[in-house]
Amino acid sequence: MNETLQTIFQRRSVRAYSDRPVQDTDVELIVRAGRYAPSGMNTQGWHFTVLRNQDKLKSLGERVAGVGQTFFYNAPVLILVSYRIGNRFAEDDCACAMMNMMLAATSLGLGSVWCNRINGNSQFDTSLQDYGVPAGYQVHGCLALGYASSPLPADRENKSDTVTYL
């Protein structure tokens, strides 16, 4: 089985991170992977905000989840994927970019998880300019990123009866 398929089958959502720092070059490759996702009519109407400033991260976590709380599992890096409001393809485009980034992270030995506390769930997703999200953009997905603090499950249970061949 080729490495890409292995990566796809080995990816797991990671919800506990170690303190090991993430290399700039890896972050850049992961963001580049997101930007290589397909987009409807090739609009590429997305924006990637890479949050690594620890004060900003703490502040955003508390703003979304409450004082002393966080929604991104204390990961050392958070990538916010937002889209220009009004782009009708954008939600799928952003989801594809998120998937590419998750696989790129896995291929580099990093863990990640799509965090669901901003996109569509709060009053914050269009007012995060203090955190690097451009005005006029709505956050669709947040990717927590870092090294997993413990080994990942070797396999996962997939539901049966989800495929029809015709």
Sign of CA dihedral 127, 131, 134, 138: negative
Instruction: Read off the amino acid at residue 63.
Output: R
Nearer to a second copy, 13 or 126 (CB): 13
- Residue 148, H or E segment: none
Return the ∠ at Cα 110 (arms to 25 and 4), rounded to 5°.
Answer: 95
Kindly state whether residue 48 participates in binding a second copy, applying the rule CB under 8 A: yes
- Shortest separation between residue 25's beta carbon and a second copy, angstroms: 11
Kindly state whether residue 134 participates in binding a second copy, applying the rule CB under 8 A: yes
> 22, 98, 115, 118: which one contacts a second copy (CB under 8 A)?
98
d(CA 15, CA 115): 10
Interface with a second copy by CB under 8 A: which range of 15-23, 29-37, 65-73, 145-153?
29-37
- Shortest separation between residue 104's beta carbon and a second copy, angstroms: 6
Q: 114: exposed, middle or buried (C-beta count within 10 Å: 0-12, 13-18, 19+)? A: middle
Kindly state whether residue 143 participates in binding a second copy, applying the rule CB under 8 A: no
Instruction: Read off the amino acid at residue 114.
Output: W
> 52, 59, 74, 124: which one contacts a second copy (CB under 8 A)?
52
Kindly state whether residue 136 participates in binding a second copy, applying the rule CB under 8 A: no
| 85 Cβ contact list (under 8 Å, min separation 6) | 126, 136, 137, 138
Which residues contribute to the site for a second copy (CB under 8 A)? 1-5, 7-9, 11, 13, 29, 31-33, 35-38, 40, 44, 46-53, 56, 89, 91-92, 95-96, 98-100, 102-104, 106-108, 113-114, 116, 131-134, 141, 156, 158-159, 162-166
